[in-house]
């Protein structure tokens, strides 16, 4: 006959599921025939169930309290953000007073760029207004000297403004010339066969094309000299010269040379010929 302690240990092993298949079968046979064992088993089973339930309630309650605590802390952080910043600033100040170095957080690249741009604009504004570090020191200086400094400062600033306006104007005119030149269609004439100069222009080799054009223009003008203006040969050379000068002007346009191209186009438009209307059309498109 097992002792009471042994019976308790058997019941505990059975409830915890630690018995082997043979021991569990033997215990269940004893449980069916032994009323005292069955009564003790029922008591311990109910006690174990109560303990598990109590433990679960405690764990759930602790989890609920922890969740409420985290929620309250997050809500307080959102509501008291200003108070937290003030407290951090106060602690940082006290640390610095104690000689403890406090590293500031590194600003973002965008913030650094924005600050530098703002500083640059502020410096430029002060320079033009002659304020801040650009202010003329009056104390200890004579009135003529102060007036001279003021006048020279204004003159320098006007020169800078005029130079900037001139650069912008030239840039705009150059861009306009390039756009007009690129919009002008240059095509090979099939009746003349392959034209090396036109090929150079179409390939973007404008400097080489203009060098070839300059030599041909000089050669054609030499051939035309001495001929009668009413002769067919003179008119033939003149039309070829007009064509070459027009191509030369287009090269200037595509090379951003506004003033040079405009001067050449005006010369072509001033005389009668096939390229007179085309030169006028390009001039109308220029500023």
What single-letter DSSP state applies at residue 20?
-
Reported as type and span, the H/E element at residue 202 is helix 196-202
177 within 8 A of 261, measured Cβ to Cβ: yes
Cα(224)–Cα(250) distance, rounded to whole angstroms?
Answer: 24
Write down the pLDDT at residue 237. Answer: 86
Provide the sign of the torsion angle of the four alpha carbons 225, 226, 230, 236, taken in this order.
Answer: negative
Q: Which phi and psi (to 5°) does residue 86 adopt? A: -65, -40
Write down the pLDDT at residue 191. Answer: 47
pTM: 0.50
The DSSP string of 63-78 is HHHHHHHHHHHHHHHH
Cα(37)–Cα(11) distance, rounded to whole angstroms?
Answer: 9
Cα(264)–Cα(106) distance, rounded to whole angstroms?
Answer: 60
186 within 8 A of 250, measured Cβ to Cβ: yes
Cα(149)–Cα(168) distance, rounded to whole angstroms?
Answer: 29
Averaged over successive runs of 10 residues, the pLDDT of the chain (287 residues) comes to 73 85 88 85 83 73 70 57 66 64 59 78 69 58 64 70 79 88 71 70 90 91 86 87 91 92 92 87 89
Closest Cα to residue 239, out of 263, 265, 271, 273? 273
Provide the sign of the torsion angle of the four alpha carbons 156, 162, 163, 165, taken in this order.
Answer: positive
155-180 burial: b if 16+ Cβ within 10 Å, else e: eeeeeeeeeeeeeeeeeebbebbbeb
Cα(60)–Cα(78) distance, rounded to whole angstroms?
Answer: 27
212 within 8 A of 196, measured Cβ to Cβ: yes
Write down the pLDDT at residue 193. Answer: 44
């Amino acid at each position: 006959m097992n002792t009471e302690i042994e019976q308790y240990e058997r019941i505990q092993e059975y409830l915890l599921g630690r018995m082997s298949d043979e021991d569990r079968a033997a215990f269940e046979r004893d449980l069916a025939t032994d009323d005292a064992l069955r009564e003790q088993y029922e008591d311990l089973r109910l006690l174990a169930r109560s303990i598990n339930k109590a433990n679960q309630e405690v764990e759930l309650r602790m989890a609920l309290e922890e969740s409420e605590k985290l929620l309250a802390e997050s809500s307080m952080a959102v509501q008291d953000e200003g108070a937290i910043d003030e407290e951090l600033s106060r602690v940082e100040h006290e640390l610095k007073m104690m000689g403890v170095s406090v590293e500031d957080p590194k600003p973002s690249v965008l913030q650094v760029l924005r600050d530098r741009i703002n500083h640059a604009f502020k410096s430029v504004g002060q320079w033009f207004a002659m304020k801040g570090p650009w202010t003329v020191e009056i104390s200890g200086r004579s009135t003529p000297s102060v007036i001279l400094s003021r006048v020279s400062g204004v003159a320098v600033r006007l020169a800078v403004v005029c130079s900037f306006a001139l650069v912008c104007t030239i840039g705009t005119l150059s861009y306009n010339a390039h756009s007009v030149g690129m919009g002008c269609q240059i095509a090979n004439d099939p009746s003349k066969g392959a034209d090396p100069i036109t090929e150079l222009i179409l390939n973007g080799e404008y400097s080489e094309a203009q060098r070839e054009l300059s030599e041909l223009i000089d050669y054609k003008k030499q051939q035309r000299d001495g001929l009668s203006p009413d002769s067919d040969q003179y008119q033939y050379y003149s039309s070829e010269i007009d064509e070459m000068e027009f191509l030369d002007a287009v090269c200037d346009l595509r090379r951003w040379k506004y003033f040079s191209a405009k001067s050449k186009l005006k010369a072509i438009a001033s005389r009668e010929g096939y390229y007179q209307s085309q030169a006028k059309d390009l001039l109308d498109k220029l500023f």
